[in-house]
Amino acid sequence: MILLQVSYAGMFIISVATLRDGMNQFVLVVYRNIVAAAVIAPSALWFERLSPFYLIRRLNNLSFSLIIVIPYEIRI
C-alpha cells in the first residue's frame, strides 16, 4: 500500500512538472498509459502463467491438434 502511495505521489510530481513546462495533456496521458502497460504487463503475464486456466487452455489446444490436425495430415 505504501508503494502504491509513493508511485501516485511520484506520478503527480512528474505530471505537474511536465505540464508546467508546456507538455500537451494528451501526450502526457499517452506516455502515462505506455509506462503503466510496461510496468503491469510482466506481472500480468507471470500471473497468467500460474493460473489453472492456462493449463486447461494448453490441454484444449493439444486435444484440438490431436483430434483435427493430426488425422488430417495422415490422410494427405
Range of the domain at 25: 2-75
Q: Higher pLDDT residue, 75 or 39? A: 39
Predicted pLDDT of residue 23: 92
Residue 44 burial by Cβ neighbours in a 10 Å radius (0-12, 13-18, 19+): exposed
The C-alpha atoms of residue 52 and residue 71 are separated, in whole angstroms, by: 29
- Please state the pTM of the whole predicted model: 0.55
Q: Provide the number of structural domains found in the chain.
A: 1
Tens digit of each residue's pLDDT (9 = 90 or more) over 25-71:
999 999 999 998 998 888 887 777 766 666 566 666 666 555 665 55
What backbone phi and psi angles, to 5 degrees, belong to 51? Answer: -70, 140
Predicted pLDDT of residue 56: 61
